[in-house]
Amino acid sequence: MYRSKVSAVAVLAVLATAGAVADDAALEAGGDFEEIIVTGSRTPEKIDEVTASVSVIGKDDLMEDLKLNLELQSTLATRIAGFGPATGSTSNSGMTLRGRTVLVMIDGVPQSTPLRNGQLGLRSVDPSALGRIEVIKGATSIYGNGAAGGIVNYITKQASEETLAGDIAVSSRFSMVDADGSFGKRVDGTLSGTLDKFSYVVNAVYDSRGQQKDADGDTMGLVYGLSDLDTVNLFAKAAYQFDADKRLQATVNYYDSQQDSDLVDVTGNPVTGQKTYAVETSADKPGVPQGPKGNTNIMVKYSDAALLENTELTLDLYRQKIENVFFFSSRLANPDEGFDGGQSLIKSEKFGVRANFKSTFDWDSVQADFVYGIDYLKDTTSQPLVDGRLWVPEMDMQNKAAYLQSKFVGRDHWVFKAGVRAEKIDISVDDYSTLRLCRSETQCSVPMDVTGGELDYSSTTYNVGLRYNAIPAFSPFISFSEGFDISDLGRLLRSAVVTDLMQVQTEASEVRHYEVGFTSQLQDLKLEFAYYRSTSELGTGTQLDPDTGVFLPVREPQEITGFEIAAQYDVSDTLEIGANYTSFDGENSDTGEKLSGRFISPAKLSVYADWSPIENLRISANLLHLASRDEFTAEGNAYAIYEGPVDGYDLVNLSASYRMDDVEIYGGVENLFNEDYFSQRAQSIFIDSYYSKGLGRTANVGVRYSF
């Protein structure tokens, strides 16, 4: 929803709006972060000087969402114009930002695995560990590969200025349609404080879910399902302030969220409209629990606000280890070798170094900021199967980049930004063999022995933006930005039908993003509007090979256009209402064919109201309306993957909380009117195992104690 006070549908994308983490000390000293954006240019800057499409979800809104739904993708889908609808699952496949994939980060550390994009990055941290979320819209290569649609940066909590402060919450979630087996339990708590020059934050979460049930009271399907999901998130941050300028900080985040269930799916059929649902079984289930398996981030950051007279430094070092385990699938069968299916996992290890400098000059009527630095990232990613077979070979990437971003703020209220980033990417792949996969005993793919080698990419991308902020009632902007994308190379390699790596279509995609819009503040009314167009010479679609039954990647040029509008009105001191609307469409720019639901979602409207009828009582309601989309023709009665017709739906949610001194009692109801629907993703993908209905009426109740 567009409730975010700092949301600014401004412009651009690359701008060195890189989205690194802002200096924590500067933020703490700055007080009200509604006045600043932190991911915009790797350093804090005022919101009315941002020439990038940026939205921020603050801590209060995150805490409010915890009373209703624990999924960050739901928060992003309802609060951020441009995001597709939430999938209602652990996967964010098909949930794009303005039709393109996003790079997900925690404090600037990439969580996505672009070399083999499993579309799981949005579920990489518990919302209770976060202080806010920053979203930069549009193409940007500022962090390198994987940000064709923009950046989602999860900013973790800051330490309290008190010696000891914190909170602890206990809650339960259950189906109001059929509560049997649906009860979950959750405990989350935070401790933080400042002791002289030392500060700390510790957050721990244990969340055990019961069965997630649809409007009929049946348990939803298990493919990327949320039923019987046990999540543990452990987060710690410690910092030492040497003096007013120098600071050292270390952060660790551990995230484990796996589904260990005794349920099995009863597979439906989208052609007949029969849904997929889950039932209990006493039989042994193949495979191991699915989900993130102990994913770990470690980051050390050193900052010096006075490295030189007018120059500050931020140095980041980070390491990350990811193992995302997928569900057991019969599509990974090979009867000749005795495999009736298989289960894959994406393994990724990253090591990165970032040195970021900012120099500021005051020239008569112009203040000039120059942000510049170097990035180094080593990323080793593969996708083996749990049974030992190798599906995607190990890809070793080294990414080296240098960048310069400038901003000029005139006394006459003009803001001009321009930037450039040059990078070189080297990827090595050893010799490998593609898997023989069978949909039946007679329909199998043909394995290929592929000679490996070195893939080299180099790119220079630019951005430029202009904004006029003299008149709050009308502050227009315009921008252009470029991105460089080689994401999901693994899908191309695993489906190779040639014998040499050099024959695989591994060319990078250059994304160009154009945008124009304005923001407006008219007393108690705030308006935002943006129109955008993005083009890329090579995207990656999906096509079924009828001979082998294997889904193959297809390279295609893409053009996406859309617009967003948002409004917020403070009716009184106790009532706030608002809405946002987003609509975008895309096509293959060579053939004119529409882009599939893998990229394009139907138009979306989000409306909300926050009301405090009496002191300490808050009531919130929101409506999410998704339109229909029917752009493709069926073959017989079946549609190609991601081309299924989407029937729109309306979801209403309600939550309330009441505070008594240090204790807050809260409750929320999702899908208040028990809408019976299939999610946009389930309808669009048009695959039996994915064809599960959306969540029915579900309650969440809890109590939080703060001290």
pLDDT by residue (tens digit) across 220-231?
999 999 999 999
Region of poorest pLDDT, from 228-232, 328-332, 486-490, 568-572: 486-490
Contacts of 164 (CB under 8 A, 6+ apart): 191, 193, 707
Highest mean pLDDT pick, 91-105, 193-207, 536-550 = 193-207
pLDDT higher than threshold 60 for residue 444: yes
Report strand pairing: 366-384 vs 291-292.
unpaired
Domain that holds residue 601: 8-706
Annotate 628-667 with b (16+ C-beta within 10 A) or e (fewer): ebebbeeeeeebbbbbbbbebbebbbbbbbeeeeeebebb
Asked whether residue 178 is assigned to any structural domain, the reply reads yes
Comparing 258-267, 381-390, 457-466, 549-558, which segment has the lowest mean pLDDT? 549-558
Number of other residues whose CB lies within 10 A of the CB of residue 590: 11
Res. 339: pLDDT tops 60: yes
Band of the pLDDT at 15, cuts 50, 70, 90?
very low
3 occurs within a structural domain: no
SS (H, E, C) 377-412: EEEEEEEEECCCCEEEEEEEEEEEEEEEEEEEEECC
Task: pLDDT band for 356, please (50, 70, 90 cuts).
Answer: very high
- List the one residue out of 133, 226, 88, 36 whose CA is nearest residue 671: 88
Please choose, from the candidates 291, 496, 538, 507, the residue with its C-alpha nearest in 3D space to the C-alpha of residue 392.
496
Q: Is residue 687 assigned to a domain?
A: yes
Burial class (CB in 10 A: 0-12, 13-18, 19+), 623: middle
Average pLDDT of the residues in 330-346: 93
pLDDT of residue 411: 85
Residue 7 CA neighbour count, 13 Å, CB half: 27
What is the per-residue pLDDT across 386-427, written as a single tens digit (0 to 9) for each?
999 999 999 999 999 999 999 999 988 999 999 999 999 999
> Under a CB-based contact definition with an 8 Å cutoff, are residues 147 and 140 in contact?
yes
Structure tokens given for 1: 């929803």
Task: State yes or no: pLDDT of 262 exceeds 50.
Answer: yes
Token pair listed for 312: 């500050």
Residue type, 618: R
Q: What is the mean pLDDT of residues 526-554?
A: 74
Q: Which of 75-79, 91-95, 136-140, 668-672 comes out lowest in average pLDDT?
A: 136-140
Alpha carbon separation from 293 to 230, 628, 641 (Å, rounded)? 11, 36, 29
What is the average pLDDT across 97-113? 88
Looking up tokens 């994009």 gives 117
- Asked if residue 1 belongs to a domain, the reply is no
Asked if residues 538 and 553 have their Cβ atoms less than 8 Å apart, the reply is no
Nearest Cα neighbor of 702 from 670, 666, 669 is 666
Indicate whether 544 pLDDT > 90. Answer: no
Q: What is the pLDDT of residue 147?
A: 77
Of 17-21, 105-109, 190-194, highest mean pLDDT: 190-194
Q: Is the pLDDT of residue 325 over 50?
A: yes
Domain count for the chain: 1
Residue 280 lies in a domain: yes
Phi and psi for 218 in degrees, rounded to 5? Answer: -90, 150
pLDDT attached to residue 429: 96
Residue 135 included in any domain: yes
pLDDT for residue 660: 94
Q: Taking residues 56-83, report their average pLDDT.
A: 89
Is 50 exceeded by the pLDDT of residue 46? yes
Q: Which two tokens stand for residue 121?
A: 């990055």
pLDDT of residue 321: 96
- Interacting residues of 576 by C-beta distance below 8 A, sequence separation 6+: 3, 568, 569, 570, 609, 610, 611
Using one digit for the tens of pLDDT, what is the confidence trace for 547-601?
Answer: 655 555 667 889 999 999 999 999 999 999 999 999 999 999 999 999 999 999 9
Identify the band that residue 14 occupies on the pLDDT scale cut at 50, 70 and 90. Answer: very low
Residue scoring higher pLDDT (30 or 615): 615
What is the pLDDT at residue 142? 64
pLDDT given for residue 26 in this prediction: 39
* For the chain, percent of residues with pLDDT exceeding 70: 91
Are 231 and 257 in contact, with CB atoms under 8 Å apart? yes
Average the pLDDT over each of 283-292, 338-347, 394-403 and give the range with the smallest value: 283-292
At residue 300, does pLDDT exceed 90? Answer: yes
d(CA 298, CA 319): 5
Tell me the three state secondary structure of residue 65.
helix
Predicted local distance difference test score (pLDDT) of residue 1: 39
pLDDT band at residue 31 under the 50/70/90 scheme: very low
Strand 45-46 and strand 604-611: the pairing is unpaired
pLDDT of residue 341: 93
The reply to whether 111 falls in a domain is yes
Quick one: which H or E segment has residue 685?
Answer: helix 680-685
Tell the residue number behind the tokens 């020059």, with chain if given.
197
Angle at 142 between CA 412 and CA 37, to 5 degrees: 45
Is 7 a residue whose pLDDT tops 70? no
Confidence of residue 38 (pLDDT cuts 50, 70, 90): low
- Other C-beta atoms closer than 10 Å to the C-beta of 338 total 8
Q: Helix or strand or coil: residue 337?
A: helix
What length does the chain have?
707
The answer to which of 301-305, 432-436, 548-552 has the lowest mean pLDDT is 548-552
Lowest mean pLDDT among 120-129, 145-154, 247-256: 145-154
What CATH number does residue 618 fall under? 2.40.170.20
Task: Kindly state whether residue 323 falls inside one of the protein's structural domains.
Answer: yes
275-296 in b/e form (b: 16+ CB < 10 A) is bbbbeeeeeeeeeebbbbbebe
pLDDT value of position 548: 57
Contact between residue 512 and residue 554 where contact means Cβ atoms under 8 Å apart: no
